[in-house]
Chain A
Amino acid sequence: MWIVTGSEKGRIRLVSSKDVDALLPIGSYLTVVDDINVKHILIVEESYQMSLFEPSPLIVDTGLPLFSQDQECKNILLAREIKQFPLRPDGMFSYIKPNEKAQRTTQEEINEIFRSKEGYPVFLATNYLRQNSLLRDDVGKLISVKIPFDSLYLQTMICGQTGSGKTVAMKYLIERFLQHEKGAVLAINVKSIDLLTMDQHTSITDENLKLKIEEEWDTIGLIQDNDNEYSIYIPYQKQKYKEGVNQDKIFYITLRTSDLEPNSLLGVLQNVTDRAAEALPNIFRYWKEHVSEPTKRFRNFITWFRERATKENNYVFPTLSQVDEESELYMHPGTCRAILRSLESASTFFDSPSDECVAIRENNIMIPGKLSVIDLSSKDTVVFGAVLLRHLLSKIYESKAVEGQYPELPILIVIDEVHQFYRSTASALALEELNAIARMGRSEKIGVIFASQNPDDLPRGLTAIVNTRIFFRSLGNVSSKYDIKASSVELTSLDAGYAIVSNVSVPQIRFVKFPMPRMGVIS
């Protein structure tokens, strides 16, 4: 038990009673019930010890037995009130008065404060001496809280260094979304086999860790569920695929030029001027409408483009705008060469003649309870990814928002290392669709999770619209930029899985640990 002794600069000061023989870590929750039965919930922001009797050091120097009674210490806490309930009928808020008693907040009280029944559970966490631990109640039970699923439709940003738990958290969110929302998930895998083992049960070899994880699963009742449909889509390539991935789930994909939405082509462009980037979709549209043969092969577009980019043709290209206006455009020979280089490098991903290849469309993705992972982890496939992503997003947007298809189907789009798609202006432009989708998320039940090592890698427009920000271990300067200073926990000191969360629906929740998913983590 802790006793309120006063307040300091808006924070409540508490002192431990005699029965408390340890320090309560930062991030812990306390409940004070006042004389009119209003419950005040406090979160601990500072915790330190005070020795009551300040014994003489002589006792040690003289080699005499210690006077153990002098070792009694008190735990001093500075805590911030985050909620009080029920609210007073007079419209005012109650004081927390000196000498009122505080107990550690129970799971039942946490449930009362955060009334989200439909949400993905995360554990509340604490920090002391830069060591992280899970928040427990007085009987040692872990305390969890639910972050509403609805907030996923208001977009989520996950940041953290390699090994900080960012990818595991993404897997957890995917798993919870599939299980609860019964929606479709489109995830982009950009490194190793991170998201390619989501059909396999989580397996932990370290016995201690295993026990901890099992305790977490038991606490939140996380059950195994691998009934979901799962497909891995890989750009067609000759090399054999990676070990550890279930080959049955793999589908090679290609892009059909005939299907390609002209603006998606922007994704292939690198090192070209903005003007050229703007022009290419219109040139491509013209080619598709007026030049190409019925088969519409990408190779033929390159050949046609090369023919136009000559002295004889004065480097002039016919164009067709989105509103069917024809025109002509001169491009500098250097720009033409750059575009050609980009088109050549992307050509292998188009119109593959192989029977193994499928031309991926939005109907491959928009299936309830299905996880579709597009693997872009091989070299040079990010360029393809940018085109593909733009193409798919555009189709998803069109089908849901314009054509009104899949009205009840929620979709979650997960893009790991999203900064890779923003490396060039052109590919950044290619993701304009993502912005549009992110902005209409709630009404259409489309959620996007952007993950990156450093939030600064994301365009400011994108970071501004996200409703949930999850910061795993990151560089120190991140905290001041994204308003997470008040949590009193240093981002640089977070252990794997621990994160600082900023969510508009549950602003009182700050420091949490993400549970391990039941599927997809192989240690």
Chain B
Amino acid sequence: MYSNVDISKVKIRLNNINKKVTKNVSFTPSDITIMMQEFYLSPTMSCLEDINSKYDLYPDDIQLLSDWDIFAYDESVRNFRSLEGDLFFCSSSTIKIEKKYLFNLTVLPFFFTSMKKFQSSNDESILYADNLSEARNLTMIINKTNSILETVTPHSIILIDGPLVGGNASTYMVKMDVALRNRDCIPLYLVKNSDSRLIIDNDPNLSKEFNNDFHWAVHKLKTCSRSSFFKYTDMYSKEKSKVFSYLKALPGFPERVEMHTDTYTKYKKIIPSLMNLLAYFFIVQGDYSNPQVRPIAIAEKYAREGLRILNIPVLLGKLGFHPTINQVRFG
């Protein structure tokens, strides 16, 4: 991994889209919220520790930094509208913490359309979608798992933005998770925002008082502590099983860390140190209003840079795309 930026397919794909689907897109990116929907069917929940105990974090315990390689993944997206569908750019960034940050950055454009003529198309850049948002999420997940699997090396801790289990993406994520664990890697998933109610729905007293698990965690956790570990397993799909905890390293909002149950079992001995390392990464990032582990924040920085360096509106103009009618009329 040598600070690699791959934008080689951008032009080829855009030319293809330009030729086969549309020449008219909005040069102003439209806002889209990429949020992995979490839903849990038939949950089986258990608490692996005492739910009422305090679990302090020790951010000075960072021995794992020397013993393991650290990777982090994040992505950044931008969407451009057209009458024929959405032109979507996904910038995936995986970073490795070496003496300096090393990064692997890939930017790919996709065109999502509901035109049925593309339903059976094998074209990688033009994708048929009944449900645009769902298709977009799926594309991102595939991109994400490919990017991570291509980049990480054995005996690494991988910090990944977004949940492991909870939604349509679970199958892909679990598959990747297994592959990583087989390489003696520890994938940890960090979730900033979620409406999940797995904890509070398990206790009528909690569900009476709290709107969701994050709401509960904000009130429950003191700075530099974590909640007990909870285990969730899908009753009908046992491999979709995760262990999670809420962490609050800085004053402000907590974040959820989750891992596959097999990861928890396999690396149980070092789980406390892993949590301490995460606390350290939160403090290094140091942003009360946007608590993130530092490596993911850096991966996010590179992912955004991936879109910025392309200068997409200019590139689109050069490749023969025209502004949409609305943009011409209303600027």
Question: Known contacts being A62-B59, A67-B294, A70-B294, is A55 close to B101, with CB within 8 Å?
Answer: no
Q: Please, which residues of chain B bring their CB within 8 A of the CB of A72?
A: 100-101
Q: Please, which residues of chain B bring their CB within 8 A of the CB of A56?
A: 283-287
Q: Please, which residues of chain B bring their CB within 8 A of the CB of A53?
A: 101, 298, 301
Q: Please, which residues of chain B bring their CB within 8 A of the CB of A70?
A: 284, 294
B280, A69: Cβ atoms closer than 8 Å: no
Instruction: Report the minimum CB–CB distance from B37 to chain A (whole Å).
Output: 32
B100, A55: Cβ atoms closer than 8 Å: no
Q: Please, which residues of chain A bring their CB within 8 A of the CB of B286?
A: 55-59
B48 contacts partner chain A, Cβ-Cβ < 8 Å: no
**Which listed residue, A57, A58, A59, A69, touches B101 by the CB 8 Å rule?**
A69
B12 contacts partner chain A, Cβ-Cβ < 8 Å: no
B287, A64: Cβ atoms closer than 8 Å: no
A62, B97: Cβ atoms closer than 8 Å: no
Q: Please, which residues of chain A bring their CB within 8 A of the CB of B283?
A: 56, 58-59, 62, 64
A461 contacts partner chain B, Cβ-Cβ < 8 Å: no
A65 contacts partner chain B, Cβ-Cβ < 8 Å: yes
Question: Known contacts being A55-B286, A59-B283, is A64 close to B301, with CB within 8 Å?
Answer: no
Q: Please, which residues of chain A bring their CB within 8 A of the CB of B67?
A: none
Whole-angstrom distance between the alpha carbons of A68 and B99 in the complex? 8
A337 contacts partner chain B, Cβ-Cβ < 8 Å: no
Whole-angstrom distance between the alpha carbons of A30 and B62 in the complex? 42
Per DSSP, chain A at the interface is loop
Closest residue of chain B to A59 (Cβ to Cβ) is B284
Q: Please, which residues of chain B bring their CB within 8 A of the CB of A115?
A: none
Most B CB within 10 A of own CB, among A55, A69, A72: A69
**Which listed residue, B3, B250, B280, B285, touches A64 by the CB 8 Å rule?**
B280
Instruction: Report the minimum CB–CB distance from A147 to chain B (whole Å).
Output: 42
Q: Please, which residues of chain A bring their CB within 8 A of the CB of B203?
A: none
B124 contacts partner chain A, Cβ-Cβ < 8 Å: no
What is the number of residues of chain B that contact chain A, defined by CB distance less than 8 Å? Answer: 19
Within 8 A of A (CB), among B70-110: 97-101
Whole-angstrom distance between the alpha carbons of A58 and B284 in the complex? 7
B209 contacts partner chain A, Cβ-Cβ < 8 Å: no
B60 contacts partner chain A, Cβ-Cβ < 8 Å: yes
Whole-angstrom distance between the alpha carbons of A55 and B281 in the complex? 11
Whole-angstrom distance between the alpha carbons of A427 and B101 in the complex? 71
A18 contacts partner chain B, Cβ-Cβ < 8 Å: yes
Instruction: Report the minimum CB–CB distance from B96 to chain A (whole Å).
Output: 10
**Which listed residue, B3, B59, B62, B284, touches A55 by the CB 8 Å rule?**
B284
Q: Please, which residues of chain A bring their CB within 8 A of the CB of B301?
A: 53
Closest residue of chain B to A65 (Cβ to Cβ) is B62
Whole-angstrom distance between the alpha carbons of A58 and B60 in the complex? 13
B101, A67: Cβ atoms closer than 8 Å: no
Q: Please, which residues of chain B bring their CB within 8 A of the CB of A57?
A: 286
Whole-angstrom distance between the alpha carbons of A495 and B60 in the complex? 47
Q: Please, which residues of chain B bring their CB within 8 A of the CB of A58?
A: 250, 283-284, 286
Within 8 A of B (CB), among A364-421: none
B59, A18: Cβ atoms closer than 8 Å: no
Within 8 A of A (CB), among B234-255: 250
Within 8 A of A (CB), among B292-331: 294, 298, 301
Within 8 A of B (CB), among A62-102: 62-65, 67-70, 72
**Which listed residue, B60, B98, B250, B284, touches A67 by the CB 8 Å rule?**
B284
Within 8 A of A (CB), among B138-186: none
Whole-angstrom distance between the alpha carbons of A56 and B280 in the complex? 12
Instruction: Report the minimum CB–CB distance from A59 to chain B (whole Å).
Output: 5
Most B CB within 10 A of own CB, among A57, A63, A64: A64
B100, A69: Cβ atoms closer than 8 Å: yes
Within 8 A of B (CB), among A172-199: none
Whole-angstrom distance between the alpha carbons of A18 and B101 in the complex? 10
B284, A18: Cβ atoms closer than 8 Å: no
A18, B287: Cβ atoms closer than 8 Å: no
Q: Please, which residues of chain B bring their CB within 8 A of the CB of A18?
A: 3, 100
Instruction: Report the minimum CB–CB distance from A243 to chain B (whole Å).
Output: 60
Whole-angstrom distance between the alpha carbons of A53 and B286 in the complex? 12
Within 8 A of B (CB), among A23-72: 53, 55-59, 62-65, 67-70, 72
Whole-angstrom distance between the alpha carbons of A58 and B285 in the complex? 8
B99, A69: Cβ atoms closer than 8 Å: yes
Closest residue of chain A to B62 (Cβ to Cβ) is A65
Instruction: Report the minimum CB–CB distance from B11 to chain A (whole Å).
Output: 15
Closest residue of chain A to B2 (Cβ to Cβ) is A18
Whole-angstrom distance between the alpha carbons of A70 and B298 in the complex? 9
Most A CB within 10 A of own CB, among B59, B98, B283: B283
0/1 per residue, B197-229, Cβ < 8 Å to A?
000000000000000000000000000000000
Closest residue of chain A to B97 (Cβ to Cβ) is A69
Whole-angstrom distance between the alpha carbons of A64 and B249 in the complex? 13
Instruction: Report the minimum CB–CB distance from A53 to chain B (whole Å).
Output: 6
Instruction: Report the minimum CB–CB distance from B235 to chain A (whole Å).
Output: 42
Whole-angstrom distance between the alpha carbons of A378 and B99 in the complex? 66
A64, B60: Cβ atoms closer than 8 Å: yes
Whole-angstrom distance between the alpha carbons of A57 and B3 in the complex? 26
Q: Please, which residues of chain A bring their CB within 8 A of the CB of B287?
A: 56
Q: Please, which residues of chain B bring their CB within 8 A of the CB of A55?
A: 284, 286, 294
Whole-angstrom distance between the alpha carbons of A62 and B59 in the complex? 10
Whole-angstrom distance between the alpha carbons of A65 and B98 in the complex? 16
Closest residue of chain A to B287 (Cβ to Cβ) is A56
Q: Please, which residues of chain A bring their CB within 8 A of the CB of B285?
A: 56
Q: Please, which residues of chain B bring their CB within 8 A of the CB of A63?
A: 60
Q: Please, which residues of chain A bring their CB within 8 A of the CB of B298?
A: 53, 69
B60, A65: Cβ atoms closer than 8 Å: yes
Q: Please, which residues of chain A bring their CB within 8 A of the CB of B59?
A: 62, 64
Instruction: Report the minimum CB–CB distance from A70 to chain B (whole Å).
Output: 7
Q: Please, which residues of chain A bring their CB within 8 A of the CB of B294?
A: 55, 67, 70
Closest residue of chain B to A67 (Cβ to Cβ) is B284
Whole-angstrom distance between the alpha carbons of A72 and B294 in the complex? 14
0/1 per residue, B49-76, Cβ < 8 Å to A?
0000000000110100000000000000
0/1 per residue, B256-267, Cβ < 8 Å to A?
000000000000
Whole-angstrom distance between the alpha carbons of A126 and B54 in the complex? 60
Instruction: Report the minimum CB–CB distance from A97 to chain B (whole Å).
Output: 14
Whole-angstrom distance between the alpha carbons of A311 and B248 in the complex? 111
Whole-angstrom distance between the alpha carbons of A106 and B203 in the complex? 74
Q: Please, which residues of chain B bring their CB within 8 A of the CB of A65?
A: 60, 62
Whole-angstrom distance between the alpha carbons of A72 and B98 in the complex? 12
Closest residue of chain A to B70 (Cβ to Cβ) is A69
Instruction: Report the minimum CB–CB distance from A98 to chain B (whole Å).
Output: 10
Closest residue of chain A to B285 (Cβ to Cβ) is A56
Q: Please, which residues of chain B bring their CB within 8 A of the CB of A69?
A: 97-101, 298
Whole-angstrom distance between the alpha carbons of A63 and B298 in the complex? 22
Whole-angstrom distance between the alpha carbons of A67 and B284 in the complex? 7
Whole-angstrom distance between the alpha carbons of A56 and B286 in the complex? 5
Whole-angstrom distance between the alpha carbons of A67 and B3 in the complex? 19
| Minimum-distance CB pairs A-B, first 4 | A56-B286, A58-B286, A67-B284, A72-B100
Beyond A53-B301, A64-B284, 5 additional pairs, beta carbon < 8 A: A53-B298, A56-B284, A69-B97, A69-B100, A70-B284
Between-chain CB contacts (< 8 Å), 9 pairs: A18-B100, A55-B284, A56-B285, A56-B287, A57-B286, A59-B284, A64-B280, A64-B283, A65-B60
B: residues with CB less than 8 A from A are: 3, 59-60, 62, 97-101, 250, 280, 283-287, 294, 298, 301
